[in-house]
Amino acid sequence: MSSEQIIIRPARIEDAGEYLQLVEALARYEQLPPPDAEAKARLIEHLFGPRPHYRLLVAEHQGHLVAYAAHFLAYSTFVARATFYLEDLFVLPEFRHLRVGHRMMLTCARLAVAQNCGRMDFIVLDWNKLALDFYKRHGIDVRREWVLHRVDQEGLERLAALSEQCDG
C-alpha cells in the first residue's frame, strides 16, 4: 500500500455510512461517547442538506474511506477575514504511516488560502500526544493563552432563560 493509492476529495452523499463509522472510530479514540442515531442523522443532514453547516474532505483507499477532515468557516473580527475552522481531522491508525494526515492538512491549508482565510484554527485534546506531535512537526503554533469555554445544550437553555436583569 502506498500514499499514491489514497485519493483526497470532497465527501459525497454515498459516503455517509462510512463517514459515520469514522466518526465512531474517532469517538473511541478520544474516549468519548459516539453520536446517537439522532445525532448521526443530523450530521448527514447538516452536511448534505439544503443549507450545509459544514464541509467534509475524505481520503479514500480502494473504494473505502480511511480519513476525514470536517471543517467550516468562522470569522475573525481582528483579522477581518474568514477563519478556516478544522473541527476534526481523523485518520484510521492503519493508514497513518502513509502520511494521509499530512496530505489532509495540506489540502485544508490550500482550501483556506483559496478562500482567502486569514487563519486556520482547531483544538487538540491535551493528552493526545500523537496529534500534538503531528501539528508540531508541521510548524503549527500552540496558543496556550486562549482558554476554551463551552456551553452545552442544557447550559444554553439555562443561559437563554436568564432575566435581562441578571448581574452578569
Q: Is 135 a catalytic residue?
A: yes
What string of H, E and C letters represents the secondary structure of 130-157? HHHHHHHHCCCCCCCCCCCCCCCHHHHH
Phi-psi region of 137 (alpha: psi -120 to 50; beta: other; left: phi over 0): alpha
Q: Please provide residue 84's backbone torsions phi and psi, each rounded to the nearest 5 degrees.
A: -80, 110
Of the candidates 19, 54, 68, 135, the residue annotated as catalytic is 135
Nearest to 90 by CA among 104, 73, 106: 104
Decide if 19 contacts 11 (C-beta within 8 A).
yes
Q: Which residues are catalytic?
A: 135
